[in-house]
Amino acid sequence: MEFPRLLALLLLVLDWTQPGLSSPLRPICDLRVLNHFIQEARDAEGAMKSCREGCGLSQSVTVPQTTVDFDVWEKKNAQEQAQEVQTGLWLLQQSLNTLQTSVTNTAMHSHIDNTIRNLLSINAVLRSLNIQEFTPPANATDLEGTWRVSLATDLLQVHVNFLRGKVHLLLSSAQACKPDVS
Amino acid sequence: MMTCEILSRLLALCAIACIARAGSTLQDARDFEEKVSILLKEELETPKCFAEGRKDFTCFWEEDEERAGSVHQYSFTYTYQNENSSRCPLSAVPAAGGKMLIVCHLNRIQMFVQMDIQVHREGILIHNRSLLIELVFLLDPPANVTVSSTGQQGQLNVSWVPPPLKYMDDSMMYEVFYSLADSHIGQVEVARACSEYILRGLQFSRKYKVQVRVKLDGVSYNGYWSAWSDPVFMETLPTEFDPLIISLTLIISFIFIVLCLAMLLSHHRFLIKKIWPAIPTPDSKFQGLFTIYGGNFQEWLGQTNGGLWLTPAFIYSEECPSPLEVLSELSLCPSLPSPPLPPKASRALSAVRNEGRELRNGVEERALLVKDNLDGETDGERAAPHHHWLLDRLRALHQHQVPCSQSSLLESQDTYVTLSANNNSDDERVDSNLEEALPLEALFPSGNTALCESHSDLGSAPQSSGSGCISSQSSFEYPNHAWMAKGPGYTYMAVADSGVSMDYSPMSRVDENGKVPVYTNEYKNMIPAHRKPFLVRQYPVHGDG
């Protein structure tokens, strides 16, 4: 008679002390979040175009291709699309880090910092959509589907086009955001 | 037989397909023309390019038909970023106004990458442009626009089918234009990423026209506004009486009516007094006139001490800025017949009788008035004898009320008015004349206040000071022996009161010889001043009331 009560108490205690796997994130399906990042990326590109001094890239960087051919894109499966997007985001992050060290203009520093933070946020959004995390290989810079740019303006333009294109397509077609069809 | 039937059916199907294709081609052609016209207005760069979907891309530019020549002399070259250039096959389409359109159409495109376009004519670059294809969308108008009632008054539900573009549904924005069917002025509402919209605030039982157009929202994709869809007409619901509103209205009206009635009843006496005032009757003034004598005033007079009263009405009449002396005889021979009183005079008498006490004060005021109105001649010394004489006269009148009740004061209908002149050089003369005239001064009982003419009307009295007070109700006779011309400083006027109108006839100023010239003017009933005998008229008096 005492035993069921003790057992219940024990289960409760164990439940509280259970090493917590974090509860799954709620999927962020509202594309206005991405639209906000796109707007800020546009602002950074515009600021870079009007920057006269201390706004150059010290070296050429590798950036993802932004081209979207819908016939080609639709032939890829969801995983390939996700990997392509995550690879591109990783490349952009590396390039923006290089830009950050190259730029001496303080106004541009804030834009670049904001852009890097937004890229991290996009990764979080992808995680919320149950998209498997993908780490590109070390030689990703030599992979197909990349470009080499040497101008800061080209880098930021690629960044904007990548967000508007492939990232937007991936998020808009995410399975987690589609209504359940049972 | 079977084969013939099958063949005939196949032929019919082919014909239908051809017609349908022709129809769709025709529709496509019309749509293309519409888009061309939109871009010619909206896009400034050349060539003008637009994307219709995820795969279709069209560029065109205009050339004069005469100058264009052959299409083959033109080349359209496009280059994507970090790729090799490609050429686009061109076609010529006739346009309005003697123009020709040279068109490049691509079925496979790349988005989110810069595209460089170059147009050459015979090797010479004529047009150059860089663009991103996903930013130049020009879609077809929304299809299947339907307008239906929501079931509520003043509302319509507009729904449509979005353009069939995958991945772009969330990036579309719409404009809904609605107006009255017979008007071109309407309103536009914006809807984002949806396929229906509810119009509110519409008029009841009116026919509305609704149109919709679409555009990409400009974040990931951008473009131009599409053409408006074909108009759809719909009538709104008529007004309906909401039972709740009706009942509330009735209850509030009932409460309001009850409150009004309560207020009216609480102040009914005041309201009755204001709306239906009691008509005053002279019964209280004539004690026993109606109750005992049945309205026979003569009998009543014979039995009472009804006499001549002087009313202060004339005294209290409107201010007369210029001196006015009304000459009349107050006390006459009792032997004169006593005709019935005119109704006006009887009222005057009644007023005078009641205001006898005030009369004395009024006389004093009048004396002061007369004194003050003498221009430049006010003098306390002259006013004093003036004042005493008036009081004496009044006392005399009150003492001799009985015989005077039948005086010709009530008989005559002529009033003779003297107007004193302003610019009298003979001050002493005026004073003496005044004193002579004093015995003749009388205060007429008048039912009405004296009528003051501010300027003349009395045009025949140029020497008048300008205003004189004339009693409109007075009907007194002036005895010839008692009246004397005051002197050259005065202008005299005869006033004949017929009870309906007053005729003013000038009795001009008296010259030194004592003759009074006659003024010829527009006044009626000219009476020469030298005519001594005065008219005695019998004034028929009807029963009072």
**Does position B340 have pLDDT exceeding 70, yes or no?**
no
The answer to whether residue A164 neighbours chain B at the CB level (below 8 Å) is yes
CB contact under 8 A, A161 and B167: no
Query: In DSSP terms, which residues pair with B525 in a beta bridge?
Result: none
B229, B142 Cβ separation under 8 angstroms: yes
Contact by Cβ (8 Å): B388, B341: no
Q: What tokens appear for B289 in the block? A: 């006139």
| Domain co-membership, B103 together with B176 | no
Contact check, Cβ <8 Å, A66/B112: yes
Contact A69 B80 (CB under 8 A): no
Q: Is A169 on the interface with B (CB under 8 A)?
A: yes
Closest in B109, B113, B220 to A38, CB measured: B220
Residue B28's pLDDT is 79
Q: For A51-65, B14-28, B489-503, which range has the lowest pLDDT when averaged over its residues?
A: B489-503
Number of domains, chain B: 3
Least Cα separation, residue A94 to chain B (angstroms): 21
**Of B254, B274, B294, which one is at a domain's C-terminal end?**
B274
List the helix and strand counts (H, then E) for chain B. 10, 21
* Segment B82-92, tens digit of pLDDT: 899 999 999 99
The CATH number of residue B57's host domain is 2.60.40.10
B493 pLDDT band (50/70/90 cuts)?
A: low
Q: In a mutagenesis test of the B interface, which of A30, A65, A158, A161 is the best target, namely the one with the most B β-carbons within 10 Å?
A: A161
Tens digits of residue pLDDT in B270-317: 888 888 888 888 777 888 888 888 888 888 888 765 544 444 444 444
pLDDT over 70 (residue A119) = yes
Does residue B489 lie in a domain region?
no
Cβ distance A165 to B220 less than 8 Å, yes or no, reads yes
Mean of pLDDT values over B253-266: 93
Same domain? B113 vs B37: yes
Q: Examine the domain organization and report whether B130 and B216 are in the same domain.
A: no
Give the residue from B101, B135, B169 where a domain finishes. Answer: B135
Contact: A38, B219; criterion CB under 8 Å:
yes
Please indicate if any CB of chain B lies within 8 Å of the CB of A69. Answer: yes
Judging contacts by C-beta atoms under 8 Å, the chain B residues touching residue A147 are: 82
Residue A114 · residue A47 · CB < 8 Å: no
Alpha-carbon distance B504 to B524, whole Å?
Answer: 7
Same domain as B93, residue B35? yes
In a domain, B408, yes or no: no
Domain of residue B196: give its range. 143-235
Search chain B and give the residue with CA nearest A33.
Answer: B219
Q: Residue with structure tokens 């204001």? A: B274
Check whether residue B126 and residue B166 sit in a common domain: no
Same domain, B161 and B220: yes
Give the Cα separation of B390 and B330 in Å (integer): 12
Q: State the pLDDT at residue B86.
A: 94
Measuring CA to CA, which residue among A168, A167, A176, A65 is closest to residue A131?
A176
CB contact under 8 A, B219 and A39: yes
Q: Number of Cβ pairs closer than 8 Å across A and B?
A: 51
Same domain for B72 and B170, yes or no, is: no
Determine contact: A168 vs chain B, CB below 8 A.
yes
Question: What is the distance between the alpha carbons of residues A167 and A84, in angstroms, rounded to a whole number?
Answer: 9
- Condensed to tens digits (0 to 9), the pLDDT of residues B104-154 reads 999 999 999 999 999 999 989 999 999 999 999 999 999 999 999 988 888
Q: Are residues B219 and B246 in the same domain?
A: no
* In a shared domain, residues B131 and B39: yes
Which residue from B minimizes the CA distance to A166? B112
Q: Are residues B118 and B184 in the same domain?
A: no
- Closest partner residue to A67 (CB to CB) among B108, B113, B219 is B113
Distance CA B160, CA B213 (A): 10
Do B220 and A35 count as a contact with CB atoms less than 8 A apart?
yes
In a domain, B251, yes or no: yes
pLDDT range class, residue B328, cuts 50, 70, 90:
low
Tell me the pLDDT band of B503, cut-offs 50, 70 and 90: low
Between the ranges B252-256, B350-354, B530-534, where is the mean pLDDT highest?
B252-256
Separation of alpha carbons B205 and B153, rounded Å: 9
Contact A161 B132 (CB under 8 A): yes
Q: Which of residues 15-74 of B touch A (CB under 8 A)?
A: 54-55
* Average of per-residue pLDDT across B57-63: 93
Token representation of residue B520? 């010829």
Structure pTM?
A: 0.56
Contact across the interface for B111 and A70, Cβ inside 8 Å: yes
B367 closest CA partner among B351, B382, B352:
B382
* Å between A17 CA and nearest CA of chain B: 44
Nearest-CA distance from B205 to chain A in Å?
40
Q: What is the mean pLDDT of residues A142-151?
A: 86
CA distance B88 to B71: 12
- Rounded CA-CA distance B398/B400 in Å is 5
Query: How far apart, in whole angstroms, are the C-alpha atoms of residue B272 and residue B500?
Result: 34
In this predicted structure, which of A88-97, A102-111, B5-14 has the lowest mean pLDDT?
A: B5-14
Closest Cα partner for A110 from A37, A16, A47?
Answer: A47
pLDDT, tens digit (0-9, with 9 covering 90-100), for B464-478: 444 444 444 444 444
Cα–Cα distance, B162 to B195 (Å, whole number): 6
Residue ending a domain, choose from B179, B208, B235: B235
As a whole number of angstroms, the longest Cα–Cα distance in chain B is 150
Q: Pick from A87, A67, A90, A70: which is nearest to A79 by CA? A: A87
The pLDDT value given to residue B394: 59
Instruction: Please check whether residues B123 and B46 belong to one and the same domain.
Output: yes
| Mean pLDDT estimate for chain B | 71
- Say whether pLDDT at B450 is over 50: no
Which helix (H) or strand (E) covers residue B208, if one does? strand B207-216
Residues B206 and B116 in one domain: no
According to DSSP, the residues that pair with B327 across neighbouring strands are B416, B441
Q: What is the pLDDT of residue B370?
A: 42
| pLDDT for res B184 | 86
Residues in chain A: 182
Distance CA A135, CA A155 (A): 21
Query: What is the ipTM for the molecules in this complex?
Result: 0.84
- Does any domain span residue B180? yes
Minimum mean pLDDT range among B143-152, B181-190, B390-399, B424-433:
B424-433
Q: B519 and B460 in contact (C-beta within 8 Å)?
A: yes
What DSSP string runs through A26-84?
PP---THHHHHHHHHHHHHHHHHHT--SS---SS-EEEE---B-HHHHHHS-HHHHHHH
Looking at the DSSP bridge assignments, the partners of residue B80 are B115
Cβ contacts (< 8 Å) between A69 and chain B: which residues? 108-111
Chain A closest CA to B173's CA: distance in Å? Answer: 14
